[in-house]
Amino acid sequence: MKDVLKDNILTNHTLNPPNCSRWLQPETTAGVRISPLDVHNYDFHSILGQGGFGKVMLATFANRKLAVKVIRKSPECNYNSIRIEASVLMMPHLNPFLCQGYSTFETQRHVFMVMDYLNGGSLARHLDYYGSLEPEAVLFQSAEIVCGLEFLHSCGIVHRDLKPDNILVDQDGFVKISDFGLAVPNMFGNKTIGGRAGTMRYMAPEVLQRKRYNAAVDWWAVGIIICQMASGDSPFYEGNDREKIINSIINDEPRIPRWLNEDLKDLLKKLLEKDPNQRLGDGNIKHHPFFSSINWVELENKNLPPHFQLRAPPMEHSMPTEENPLSFLS
């Protein structure tokens, strides 16, 4: 077996170092040029999150706060997914509702993805704290998600893991889609893909049935998310029994609260259509009556009244790093 720890995985298939630093330029301190492609030029402060992939660290580079995703290379790593995620992170300068990447680089044992630090936390944290959102917030945050997702799809990218944990909130209350680790590129035209991917509660019926699928799976997840924002609950079984989750999504009609706005109820029904060919999505969702008050051009320019913006709940304490700030690399 090849020694994966010595493999160079961020090759010209994605971005080479000069391009990786395109939006995070070297700084000069005391006449010394400081590269954003050297991990030792970052000050690491705390752990923002961690999972099977590795850790996300709060760091600073040249007095700028950033989030750095640190992935340890191993035989279990899906290097193709890492390359795809690195590529997608370099696209969001074209759309304000996607998490922006600034540089990607690697050492012998780790891959680093430097991106926006969004101090408003995740949408999941807002929902955990508030339960649900005010109707105006549901409308505008839903519209922001629609803008970001339509842009991704127009670039041939299917996210496959949309959920409140992967929708982050910036300091002004705007949301940004993040975590492109399961994204699939080149999904243009009638192209489909197979295989389960994502978080089960947000998987579309066709994914759970192991059918081939396309970008419509992301719109199903948006339907679940909007329902949670509006009501505080999922429209399907919310327990922990895996088989009941699958059965509910495949067979149950969505539980949409009767007290919701009629246009919102109709939007949810059309997003949670079990037939992906009939599901609301790219090309027609912006014309749905629920979004009739949205000026899409103004929205993409982020010209929103302040009272429509999310306000962050109290911040939970993040986990500090070890005494040696680079000890997590050992």
Please state whether 63 falls in left (phi above 0), alpha (psi between -120 and 50) or beta: left
What's the CA gap between 221 and 226, in Å, rounded? 9
Contact 126, 54 (CB under 8 A): no
What's the CA gap between 313 and 72, in Å, rounded? 32
Contact 164, 124 (CB under 8 A): yes
Q: Which two tokens stand for residue 219?
A: 């719109």
Close Cβ partners of 286 (under 8 Å, ≥ 6 residues apart): 146, 150, 294, 296
The dihedral over CA atoms of 223, 207, 180, 227, expressed in degrees to the nearest 10, equals: 10
Name the E strands within the chain: 27-29, 32-34, 43-51, 54-61, 64-72, 101-106, 110-116, 167-169, 175-177, 319-320
The dihedral over CA atoms of 297, 303, 306, 311, expressed in degrees to the nearest 10, equals: 70
Place of tokens 């402060």: 45
163 labelled binding-site residue: no
Q: Which of 135, 203, 142 is nearest to 175 (CA)?
A: 142
161 given a catalytic annotation:
yes
Catalytic residue among 3, 116, 161, 172: 161
Q: Residue positions in the annotated binding site?
A: 73
The catalytic site residues sit at 161
Q: Residue positions in the annotated binding site for ATP?
A: 73
